[in-house]
Amino acid sequence: MKRVSLLAVTLLAAAVAPHAALAVDYPLPPAGSRLVGVNQSYVVQEGDRNLQSIARRFNSSALLLLEANNTVAPVWPKPGTQLLIPTQLILPDTPREGIVVNLPELRLYYYPPGKDIVQVYPIGIGQVGLETPVMVTRISQKIPNPTWTPPAGIRARSLAKGIELPKVVPAGPGNPLGRYAMRLAKGNGEYLIHGTNAPDSVGLRVSSGCIRMNADDIQSLFAQVPWGTRVEIVNQPVKYTQEPDGVRYVEVHRPLSQQLEENTQTAPLVLPADFATFTGDDAATRQRVNAALTRRAGYPVAVAGGAAASSRAADAVQSAKVTSGAERAEAGSLEADKAVQVQ
């Protein structure tokens, strides 16, 4: 699959392949830094099918777009609606090795050996009651064109809904595992990273514990990842970093719900042990941190660092405002309407 620089991604390219996910290679940040990428903004067009289809163009998911844009319609945003695309992020607090999955942000990170990049992919994970577990494990098997043998639990749940699953689903376009699967060594091998025949499920909590990926993404990852690759799955809804220039950032995602009816916007967050030290005693910093913990926007927010933090926050807001108004009016063409403005 062709890879593109984040700064070169345009909606015009996405329109040529509207259903393809654009996995992005982020250059690894310098020593002492964990911040990568830049946010983007996009104006919803008349032909956009739904929020998930927009998300796929930017290697994102509907839930991440809803975190970043908490006042938009959750399925079909109106044409003309401006969206912030959260393509700036803080790397998870893990070794930069192999595959890293951060469950609350519904993202998979891959650090190709010998390359100063990280590849970031949207994923689907286990539903409430069938959670994808936190673990450190390895890839134990790579399976092209997998067949699917529905486990007894899935067969029983489907039967309760009036659906009788076959004992074995052959390889092919209708297979729930897609065209590629990688088995994890954890447990009895019941956890897989695999494709799916339901692309809109990527970016949601709908699986029975496996990790789902878009078809192009799993094909790309499968081709690169060798047997035995380290896999770490973490639960880090709150990520934070102090960058080399002194600016401190906090990135807060909604935590994983424990019950179907739980409101993850207000559910308690379990903070890392050293988060209080990172926050410090400055009242203004603590106020900004508390605002970020309450808002849960899903992208990095500058909370300290003097003038640098204030200026970066202002620039982000200004960029988002300019995209749908002045720049589109000045361009006066459909091509300008389609351009993705990079913050």
DSSP code string of 160-219: HTT----S-BPSSTT-TTTTEEEEESSTTS--EEE--S-GGGTTSEEESS-EE--HHHHH
User: Of 88, 86, 31, whose CA–CA distance to 242 is shortest?
Assistant: 31
Contact between 214 and 198 under an 8 Å Cβ cutoff? The reply is: no
Q: How far apart are CA 29 and CA 179, in angstroms?
A: 33
CB count within 10 Å of CB 307 equals: 8
Is residue 210 annotated as a catalytic residue, yes or no? yes
Q: How far apart are CA 272 and CA 291, in angstroms?
A: 17
The residue assigned the tokens 């190709």 is 112
CB count within 10 Å of CB 314 equals: 11
User: Of 108, 130, 122, 100, whose CA–CA distance to 233 is shortest?
Assistant: 100
Residues 6+ apart with CB under 8 A from 128: 205, 257, 258, 259, 260
Distance of CA 173 to the CA centre of its chain: 25
SS3 327: helix
Alpha-carbon distances of 13 from 17, 21, 58, 197, 242, rounded to whole Å: 7, 11, 11, 24, 35
Name the catalytic one among 57, 194, 288, 296.
Answer: 194
Joined together, the tokens standing for residue 188 give: 């009895």
Name the catalytic one among 210, 309, 316, 340.
Answer: 210
Which residues make beta-bridge pairs with 89? 36
For strands 180-184 and 135-144, give the pairing: antiparallel
Contact between 32 and 96 under an 8 Å Cβ cutoff? The reply is: no
Q: How far apart are CA 266 and CA 211, in angstroms?
A: 26
Give the residue numbers marked as catalytic: 194, 210
